Amino acid sequence: MANEISLNQLRDLAQRAGLKLSDDALQQLVPGVNRTRQQADELRRLLNNQVEPAGHFCANKGN
Amino acid sequence: MSTTELGYLTIGEAAIGLRQKKFSASELTRGCLARIDAFDGKLHAFITLTRELALKQAEQADTELQAGKDRGPLHGIPIALKDLYATRGIRTTCHSAVLEHWIPDFDATAATKLSEAGTILLGKVGMHEFAFGGPSVDAPFPAVRNPWNPAHIPGGSSSGSGAALAAGLCHGALGSDTGGSIRTPAAHCGIVGIKPTFGRVSRYGVIPLSWSLDHAGPMARSVEDCAMLLQVLAGYDPKDPASADVPVPNFQEEMKGGVKGLRVGVPRKNWFDENLGIHQESEEVFNEALRVLESLGAQIIDIDGKAFSLARKANQTILISEAYTYHEKTCQETPEKLGSSVRRRIIEGAFMSAADYITAQRARAVLNEQIRADFSRVDVFAVPGAARPPEPFEGMDPNELNLRPSFTNPFNLTGLPAISVPCGFTQGNLPAGLQIVAPPFAEAACFRAAYSYEQATDWRTRRPSL
């Protein structure tokens, strides 16, 4: 299970993503980011190794 | 006819009136423009009004109809487009400072199809910024208001489309729907909106929110009108990579067939009471709508809602990851151009890992299978259009939405066609919607059930007091 992200960790991730965010802005993001990560963990419990992502690249479909 | 009577004609009624020469397309258009002038100052539905273009198009429609060149039931009908549909030579802003001055040099396929069908473009209507977040209080254009009570939100993100229809400012509109953005304003504004099957309507020229989840679709004041609009909009488009190359049926063919024997699945258990649960007033109105369907001969069947509840989680992870990717450059270089509410929601996507995103897409495969398996026992699903009545602007908590079930998200994840039809009012005289969801590409089943319900009630005859 993913640990909760702290403000410091979020600051590091923001920097690596090229985002200039104040600590106030980062603090506001913490609950939402952790909620979405928890949701992803909940979804992991549905899966086994046989499950592939929905949708695949189609080699003969012109883009 | 008064401008009110003209303004509230359905497309079907206007089409008959035009051909019986009770009024002209120019009169219909001038009627809409008069209502826009009278009422849009407090509703803010329109961002760009194309008055001169509309009058010119109406004149052309009248000339063509007089000469016997009839393009079909949408010929001469005034419509509005959500301001994320690219329109050649007409500003397309997504209700954002980022695109405040963007004038596309091409048309979205959906816009082209409606134009070729002879519709009259009244203008581009407001929305939630980039179809995400809530009403924008710091965008360059004011937030759209609910005609039933302007102190309340109209729902979004196709807020201008919903409000313009409810106020009789246009006869048809386009919306888009990634997590509920056609169906929520349809419910909150007391009009009809359908999110068709994923791939049914081309998204070419529609500014994306989330490529995997975006749907384009029509909104109108009646089920039949939505069917007429979808008839024109539907069809394969090689310019949209997600466009489905499937036959387009006659959506109205069996629309009046009734619901006797229809098995309606209601996924209440393990879903409706998620977190804060559905608002009591919304549930009461929904339950009454189910009783009407039963009285018409439908069979209501309880099914488990757990997969629907989980679907929202997968939808959200995919949505914010893809939305951030689309807006990454803006977030890095000019984040101040995004409104505060949408900026926060989009930037959240920067912190999702690739594994989180792929997990959500894998869960999508599993949940799609689980939800579609229910169609072995039922013909359609019925769910509320919204988990609560439209909130007041004052004191609105954007996080509250996360604490209630989303009755719309799961059908973006699964791509199933879903229509919202008016089903009553909550205590503050605010509209509510009933959603009917059908198997893939079975929009005709949505229309049939929604039409039966609509005709058995009088909600569509109610008008907001403007």
Q: What is the pLDDT of residues B140-181, one digit of tens each?
A: 999 999 999 999 999 999 999 999 999 999 999 999 999 999
Taking an 8 Å cut-off on Cβ atoms, the answer to whether A44 and B359 are in contact is: yes
pLDDT band at A60 (very low <50, low <70, confident <90, very high): confident
Task: State ipTM.
Answer: 0.93
pLDDT band at B36 (very low <50, low <70, confident <90, very high): very high
DSSP secondary structure of B221-233: SSHHHHHHHHHHH
**β-bridge pairing B215-220 and B192-195:** antiparallel
Q: Is B61 helix (H, G, I), strand (E, B) or coil?
A: helix
DSSP secondary structure of B185-219: HHHHHT-EEEE--TTSB--TTBPPS-TTT-EEEEE
How open is the CA angle B453-B127-B144, to the nearest 5 degrees? Answer: 85
Tens of pLDDT along B290-304? Answer: 999 999 999 999 999
Collect all residues with Cβ–Cβ distance below 8 Å to B357 and sequence separation of at least 6. Answer: B317, B318, B321
d(CA B304, CA B378): 12
d(CA B294, CA B302): 13
Taking an 8 Å cut-off on Cβ atoms, the answer to whether B365 and A29 are in contact is: no
DSSP secondary structure of B336-357: GGS-HHHHHHHHHGGG--HHHH
Tens of pLDDT along B441-453? Answer: 999 999 999 999 9
Q: Is B301 helix (H, G, I), strand (E, B) or coil?
A: strand
Q: Which of B314, B332, B359 sits opposite A19 (nearest CB)?
A: B332
Residues from chain B contacting residue A13 (CB–CB below 8 Å) = 350-351
Give the pair of three-digit tokens for residue B288.
Answer: 């009454």
B417 CB-contact burial (10 Å; exposed 0-12 / middle 13-18 / buried 19+)? buried
pLDDT of residue B57: 98
Which residue in A has a C-alpha nearest to residue B349's C-alpha? Answer: A33
Q: B26, B96, B157, B341: which one is catalytic?
A: B157
d(CA B34, CA B85): 24
Measured from the Cβ of residue A16, the count of other Cβ atoms closer than 10 Å reads 9
- Does B258 score more than 80 pLDDT? yes
**β-bridge pairing B418-425 and B380-384:** unpaired
- Does B400 score more than 80 pLDDT? no
Helical H segments across B128-172, by residue range = 159-166
Q: B82, B113, B124, B195: which one is catalytic?
A: B82
Say if CB B336 and CB B368 are below 8 A apart.
no
The per-type count for chain B, helices as H runs and strands as E runs, is 14, 11
Q: Which of A21, A47, A61 sits opposite B362 (nearest CB)?
A: A47
pLDDT band at B395 (very low <50, low <70, confident <90, very high): confident
d(CA B397, CA B423): 26
Residues from chain A contacting residue B360 (CB–CB below 8 Å) = 40, 43
Q: How many CA atoms lie within 13 A of B85 on its CB side?
A: 34
β-sheet bridge partners, residue B435: B383, B420
Say if CB B170 and CB B78 are below 8 A apart.
yes
Amino acid at position B59, single letter: E
Amino acid at position B371, single letter: I
Residues from chain A contacting residue B367 (CB–CB below 8 Å) = 46
Instruction: Give contacts of A 15-34 with B, CB under 8 A.
Output: 17-21, 25, 28-29, 32-33
Collect all residues with Cβ–Cβ distance below 8 Å to A40 and sequence separation of at least 6. Answer: A2, B313, B317, B352, B355, B356, B359, B360
Which residue in A has a C-alpha nearest to residue B310's C-alpha? Answer: A43
β-sheet bridge partners, residue B424: B432
Residues from chain A contacting residue B337 (CB–CB below 8 Å) = none
Give the pair of three-digit tokens for residue B262.
Answer: 């229809």
Is B181 one of the annotated active-site residues of the chain?
A: yes
pLDDT band at A2 (very low <50, low <70, confident <90, very high): low
Is B82 one of the annotated active-site residues of the chain?
A: yes
